[in-house]
Structure 1
Amino acid sequence: MFSRSKPSDDAVPTTGTQDAVAAAEAIERAGKGRPTPKRKVSQAANKRPLVPDDRRAAAKAARAKQRAARDVEYQAMKTGDEKNLPYRDRGPVKRYVRDMVDARRNVAEYFLFLALAFLVVTLFGNQIPELAVFAILAVYVVVIVAIADTFIMWRALKKRLVAKFGEGVELRGIGRYAAMRAFQIRRARLPKPMVKHGQYPTS
């Protein structure tokens, strides 16, 4: 009777991705002096498949992009480039806090050196018990003094922040940010210090 006509071998099924590609080509062909593509065609050109064809290549490209972003942030932390700093370090308030901490000689920044010396002393504790006891007491004293010194620093810093940026300045988390930087060795701080000791920022 009636036989269905078989599709030609040259015929290629149209998929969602092929429709988007064809729509994009239609937009590119629509140059100056030619009619603007219809809205339906433009929307089809913007469609992208949710799952990439090559997941391994897409993951590799994403990792490379993240690595490049981390490299840019690391360079910004070494040079002080405010625009490319990590989010936690951005803003004039954070910059002011860093400059205040870096300009000040904090007792806390010498704590790690004392802790290293304490570890060395404990190696000889069995031979010289008095020396080990003295080292333990010294560590406790430095810890107490460092905490008190950091508290004094924060009270003065808070007043200066309010004086410079107004009563509405956001201080939540700023105290912890300043204390953590104060307890770091100056040369190991990131972002790198941009001021010298005693070079306080203007109020």
Structure 2
Amino acid sequence: MAKKSVQAATPAPKETQPASATDKKGKATPKRPNQSKARPPVNPPLTAKEKREALKKAGPLTKEQKKQAKDDIRAERGRIAEGQWKGDPLFDKYHLPRDRGAEKLLVRDIVDSRWSVGQYYMFGAFGILILSTSGSVQLQSYLFIALIALTAVIVIESVLLARRVKRIVFARFPKTAQRKGGLYWYAIQRSIMPRSMRSPRPRMSYKAKEDDLGKVVK
């Protein structure tokens, strides 16, 4: 029998792939850092010192210029008040020192977002004081009991409010430099003030959600 010659199949040549940048350097080329920088705010409000310096440089003003200056000041105050109400950090420096800071803003929102008996304490105490001037001894005893009950309710509300402030504020700002006692007292003082007399004015309604507290209002 004739033997069939078997030809060995020659393997096809492999295509050479170009070396990548990783093969040359041994590691991936690092990305360049983001070169974008935070831009300063557009048209920031002037401080009181800057306003005085600007007036000195301007010199004496005419009647029209004085009227225009008053209108500008009124508009600037309105813009600052609106920025403070929205919680914009740019306008935080215009608050009183006791009201400055993101923690204080959050505490104010916590107080303003809940209904409390304490906000009527001033009216209740004043009414009890007026009624106690009557000559009825029995009425005075009832008013005394009512005053004690009102005070007890406010104490309980203050304890619950302090616990809520601790839970929300220190969870959102774990490294805050604010003292717990200072924040608690700040919240209690605001809670016993009538809502219409609170300063800075309230931003939150009673239906506000916890996630919305302390945020910038758009």
Asked if TM exceeds 0.5, the reply is: yes
**SS of corresponding position for 1:123:** coil
Percent of paired sites with the same residue:
26
Q: Say whether 1:161 aligns with 2:164.
A: no
Instruction: Compute the displacement of 1:158 (Å).
Output: 0.5
What is the rounded CA distance, in whole Å, between the counterparts of 2:116 and 2:184 in structure 1? Answer: 15
Of 144, 147, 152, which aligns to 1:139? 147
8 Å CA contact 1:108, 1:182 repeated in 2: yes
What is the rounded CA distance, in whole Å, between the counterparts of 2:187 and 2:209 in structure 1? Answer: 15
Please tell me the residue identity of whatever aligns with 2:200. P
Q: Say whether 1:177 aligns with 2:186.
A: yes
What is the rounded CA distance, in whole Å, between the counterparts of 2:196 and 2:96 in structure 1? Answer: 19
8 Å CA contact 1:100, 1:200 repeated in 2: no
Of 85, 94, 97, which aligns to 2:107? 97
8 Å CA contact 1:99, 1:201 repeated in 2: no
Instruction: Compute the displacement of 1:132 (Å).
Output: 1.3
Of 110, 124, 131, which aligns to 2:120? 110
Which of the two has higher C-alpha Rg?
2
**SS of corresponding position for 2:148:** helix
- Unaligned runs of 5+ residues in structure 2 are 1-72, 86-90, 214-218
What is the rounded CA distance, in whole Å, between the counterparts of 2:105 and 2:185 in structure 1? Answer: 15
TM-score, normalised by the number of residues in structure 2: 0.53
Alignment size in residue pairs: 130
**SS of corresponding position for 2:104:** helix
Compare the two structures and name the one with the higher helix fraction.
1
- Unaligned runs of 5+ residues in structure 1 are 1-67
What is the rounded CA distance, in whole Å, between the counterparts of 2:158 and 2:82 in structure 1? Answer: 24
Structure with greater contact order relative to length (CA < 8 Å, sep ≥ 6): 2
Instruction: Compute the displacement of 1:176 (Å).
Output: 1.0
Aligned to 1:193: 202
What is the rounded CA distance, in whole Å, between the counterparts of 1:106 and 1:184 in structure 2? Answer: 10
In the TM superposition, what are the counterparts of 1:36-55 in structure 2 within 5 Å?
none
TM-score, normalised by the number of residues in structure 1: 0.57
What is the rounded CA distance, in whole Å, between the counterparts of 1:134 and 1:78 in structure 2? Answer: 47
What is the rounded CA distance, in whole Å, between the counterparts of 2:101 and 2:191 in structure 1? Answer: 19
Aligned to 1:25: none
